[in-house]
Homo-oligomer: A and B are copies of this chain.
């Protein structure tokens, strides 16, 4: 994998804070907590397992920079990437009870990771007890929303894999990436960093590398996308939306007062 300079975008507010505050308004102390959690990112090389298969209690972590994925391997080596994880995404904040046969989580590119154990309480639904009991805190609401987004990505993935052609799958996937990356401010004029190999893409979309390649080329020839180095531009979003029957994830990326 080529260098991918981990562009610490100038304006890169911390992706986690950016994303969560887009889901629900955060109190000052909640924002401070997040900033504290993400203060000391640990660099991790590509192809590193962050959560091992069947691990008893995966440590909560946060992906600050770089791409990762949840994946599952079949006995004969076939790999399916279940979801791609992007900057600002959370890892292992749910399912902390039993060791679940969930597959593993691994980086796809060099990445910046933070331990996020401090978010566990909030993620557990932390609500104000006492007189205001029942009112969810902003952070808890945001984390809930983040969890729900991940379920939406899963559903999208199921529909892509189950009922769409290769061409449609790629279009749909690219639109989803664009929307998710926009929520953390990493899209400019439909152009965003695209640091994964076609092999990874193929494993995410249930295709062979060869066919993945054919399909990307077709999209380029049709003038729908343009790829240069490790960045991609969606040249005709409406066309892509129509091809992919894309309905969005409801994630506008617009912070709500």
Task: Give the B-binding residues of A (Cβ under 8 A).
Answer: 70, 72, 74-76, 78-80, 82, 94-95, 97-103, 124-125, 127, 129-130, 133, 136, 141, 144-145, 148, 151-152, 154-155, 157-159, 161-164, 205-206, 245, 247-250
Out of B82, B95, B130, B245, which one reaches A159, CB within 8 Å? B82
Contacting pair A95 B163 (CB below 8 A): no
Report the nearest B residue to A244, measured CB to CB.
B74
Residues of B near A163 (CB, < 8 A) are 74, 78-80, 206
Q: A205 — which chain B residues lie within 8 A by C-beta?
A: 162
CB distance from A175 to the nearest CB of B (A): 13
Asked if A80 contacts B154 (CB within 8 A), the reply is no
A223 to B231, CA, bound (A): 52
In addition to A78-B163, A101-B248, 9 A-B residue pairs with Cβ atoms within 8 Å of each other are: A74-B163, A79-B163, A80-B158, A80-B159, A99-B250, A101-B249, A124-B136, A129-B129, A154-B158
Chain B residues, CB < 8 A from A157? 158, 162
CA distance A4 to B249 in the complex (A): 37
Report yes or no: A80 in contact with B250, Cβ–Cβ below 8 A: no
Question: In whole angstroms, how far apart are the Cα atoms of A228 and B71 in the complex?
Answer: 37
Task: Please determine whether A162 and B250 come into contact, CB atoms closer than 8 angstroms.
Answer: no
Q: Which of B130, B155, B245, B250 touches A129 (beta carbons < 8 Å)? A: B130
- The 8 Å CB contact of A82, one of B95, B155, B248, is B155
**Min CB–CB distance A161 → chain B (angstroms):** 4
User: Could you show 11 A-B contacts with beta carbons less than 8 Å apart?
Assistant: A70-B155, A82-B158, A95-B151, A100-B250, A101-B250, A102-B155, A151-B151, A157-B158, A158-B161, A161-B161, A162-B205
Contact assessment for B95 and A247 in the assembled complex, using a CB-CB cutoff below 8 Å: no
